[in-house]
Structure 1
Amino acid sequence: MTLPPPPEWAAHDAVLIGFPSHPEIWGPPLDGARAETAAFADAIADGGRGERVLLVCADDEAAAAAERLIGRDVSLVVEPFGDVWLRDTAAIITGDGTGRDFGFNGWGGKYDFPGDEDVGERLARRQGIAFEACDWVLEGGSIDGDGTGLVVTTEQCLLNRNRNPGLSTERAEALLARDLGLDRVLWLGDGLLNDHTDGHVDNLARFVGPNRLALPMPEENDPNWLIYLDAARRAEAFGVEVVRLPSPGRVLVDEEIVPASYMNFYIGNSVVAVPVYGQPNDARAVEAVQALFPDRRAVGLRAGHILTGGGSFHCISQQLPRIA
């Protein structure tokens, strides 16, 4: 029987964080994204009080840039990859310490970068983690679990024909149980508007305790207000406790709505890093997350440049849980 991955608030041995490495992918936001990523890494290391932070750079140039930005409690790892979204490309660690690595097809064929297809295996073997390959496409950002076998996901992403053509709800549930020990599935509908991952759940809903799910509260003129309301209705009908966090509301980049979300926080051993975007609700969001994790320190960190690449702190990280 497969033991489900420990919840993110369980103790970590370390965390992998992807460092923006390719100017041709990032363009002008590269320097800003690198600075935001380094600040995130330093916050999670927390002066040696947090967890081991392994900042993964794709090449020596990126590593040299990272070394100029990070503090002494962050370690560098050079391992080729396409882009930084290790939540989706690194292995997911189950409750027995096995790294489960899934097929990856560039988020449905949108972004096919060399190195992303096997970076999960290379990083797992480099850390001495037992490794098993799974025979279907699954991205870590498309699921979020509470450690008991309960998982939340979206129909928009997990059942998308551009990942696993013909995958049914029943078959998806069977595969999640077989490979990750996730035996109860809360199906939400769509993810955030203009999310190029086709609705990753870690931008919409996050477990913050056993059977306790955080969801955004719509703001006035919020482009995702119907999505938030539908998600809350489904979650409450399923029987989970719903807690509400602020939403950043309508965030525009070059006059286009972007999938900005406070839900893309990362729960470290001592610090919870909350992405903020210069919006009126930034401080309220950090306060709300702090209330959920009184044993940790919630910090708001700017993530607008990382967001131009399509995600935030949770998307660029993958924790390595401490397995007894």
Structure 2
Amino acid sequence: MSEISIKSAQANDWKAAVPSETAPHARTWMAWPSTPAVYGGPGAYYESVQETLGRLAAAIAENEPVAMAAAAEHHAIAAELCGPDVELVDIATDDMWMRDSGPVFVRTADGAMAAVDFRFNGWGNKQAHPRDADIASNVARHVGAIRHVSPLRGEGGGIEYDGDGTLLLAESCWVNDNRNPGLSRAEIEQHLRAALGVEAVIWIPGVRGRDITDGHVDGSIRFVKPGLLIASSWPGDTSEWGRAHEEALAILAKAKDARGRKFEVVSVPSATNARSKSDDFLTSYANYYVGNGALYTPQFGDKKADALARETLGRLHPDRRIVQLDMDRIYENGGGIHCVTQQQPL
């Protein structure tokens, strides 16, 4: 594996572009939850988290290759819960949030695959991450990708891109001393433009310090395609989250993308009558994953909201089969389907 250092990553000879999630995938990467203490210790709840992740991996593997990063000692249980179609790769993990700990794949100017390593630090050192800190480099090595080591610290769930030059992100998690001390928004934007090959960068405020991610954008707003966004929030939410979401929508109403297009935003209300009553339960339908031929989205047990989300996502993605899944154990822990997956482009 060749590697581009932090210093040379900023050089003029580095040219890359990040493909859209909707572009064809070579595989989906996932990570095995290997630390019982994160989930209250060994026992039924931790096992149910593993079962839920395994069920998602098996569903995605029906349509495209899935590689599960897991230390060899966890392969037996992972094989049992994921099924025979999921490849187990001997990469040690702490937790399951591959979108954040794993690399962001890009294509260089000559078409080579590269992996951007944002040097994951446990969302600003909020969670122990001795193994997760190395997942991006280990995945890059496994697939033979060029490793682009960013001077920034951050997570893949903290950026949303359309594959056509536009990047959307929250200031709350990037312009934050727990990740990038001393760096201004302009400096962070410069590094992101270089790493991802984007031309238009749109900042929304986000919410700082209220969840482990400091307000990842993929929890509420996503690109469907260039010029078209989907947004999910609680109707009439007057909390700090709701105010930040309304401010984000106001910013997007005035913004244009890299090609000068204005944005159309389709709103999908979050579930309000979900099965789970966990305090950390993420009920946003925006945190879905677009795979080869299928889109994977949560089913929260709120019949009206689930049906509306399924219909809307099907209309917006007519070339994808909509697979709606009970993923409560993942969403109870502050993330979702998008947070535990990372696409490797074809």
TM over 0.5: yes
User: CA shift at 1:221, angstroms?
Assistant: 5.7
Q: Match for residue 85 of structure 2?
A: 73
Q: Match for residue 56 of structure 1?
A: 69
Whole-angstrom distance in 2 between the partners of 1:6 and 1:288? 24
User: CA shift at 1:225, angstroms?
Assistant: 3.1
User: What amino acid does structure 1 have at the position aligned with 2:179?
Assistant: R
CA RMSD of aligned residues (A): 2.2
5+ residue gaps, structure 2, are 1-13, 256-261
Q: Match for residue 32 of structure 2?
A: 19
1:160 and 2:183 aligned = no
Whole-angstrom distance in 2 between the partners of 1:30 and 1:24? 9
User: CA shift at 1:251, angstroms?
Assistant: 6.2
Q: Match for residue 234 of structure 1?
A: 251
Whole-angstrom distance in 2 between the partners of 1:20 and 1:57? 8
Deviations 1:263-303 (A, max 9, x none): 11010011111023223412221221111111011111112
Whole-angstrom distance in 2 between the partners of 1:220 and 1:257? 19
Matches within 5 A, 1:112-151: 112-151=128-167
Inter-CA distance 246–29: structure 2 relative to 1 (3 Å threshold):
same
User: CA shift at 1:90, angstroms?
Assistant: 1.2
Whole-angstrom distance in 2 between the partners of 1:192 and 1:216? 19
Structure 2 counterpart of 1:294, from 292, 306, 318: 318
Contact 1:2 1:94 in 2 (8 A): no
Q: Match for residue 259 of structure 2?
A: none
Whole-angstrom distance in 2 between the partners of 1:15 and 1:293? 19
Q: Percent identity?
A: 34
**Aligned to 1:274, what secondary structure does the other structure show?**
strand
Contact 1:195 1:259 in 2 (8 A): no
User: CA shift at 1:193, angstroms?
Assistant: 8.9
User: CA shift at 1:14, angstroms?
Assistant: 0.5
Contact 1:173 1:183 in 2 (8 A): no
Structure 1 counterpart of 2:308, from 271, 279, 284: 284
Contact 2:33 2:93 in 1 (8 A): no
User: CA shift at 1:22, angstroms?
Assistant: 2.1
5+ residue gaps, structure 1, are none
**Aligned to 2:133, what secondary structure does the other structure show?**
coil
Alignment length, in residue pairs? 318
User: CA shift at 1:243, angstroms?
Assistant: 1.6
Contact 1:220 1:249 in 2 (8 A): no
Deviations 1:25-52 (A, max 9, x none): 2235222212221221122122xxx211
**Aligned to 2:96, what secondary structure does the other structure show?**
coil
Whole-angstrom distance in 2 between the partners of 1:192 and 1:214? 22
Contact 1:86 1:318 in 2 (8 A): yes
**Aligned to 1:312, what secondary structure does the other structure show?**
coil
Contact 2:252 2:263 in 1 (8 A): yes
User: CA shift at 1:220, angstroms?
Assistant: 5.1
**Aligned to 1:88, what secondary structure does the other structure show?**
helix
Q: Match for residue 289 of structure 2?
A: 266
Matches within 5 A, 1:150-189: 150-189=166-205
User: What amino acid does structure 2 have at the position aligned with 1:162?
Assistant: N
Q: Match for residue 98 of structure 2?
A: 86
User: CA shift at 1:9, angstroms?
Assistant: 0.2
Which stretch of the first structure deviates more once superposed, 180-189 or 273-282?
Answer: 273-282
TM-score, normalised via structure 1 length? 0.91
Contact 1:35 1:69 in 2 (8 A): yes
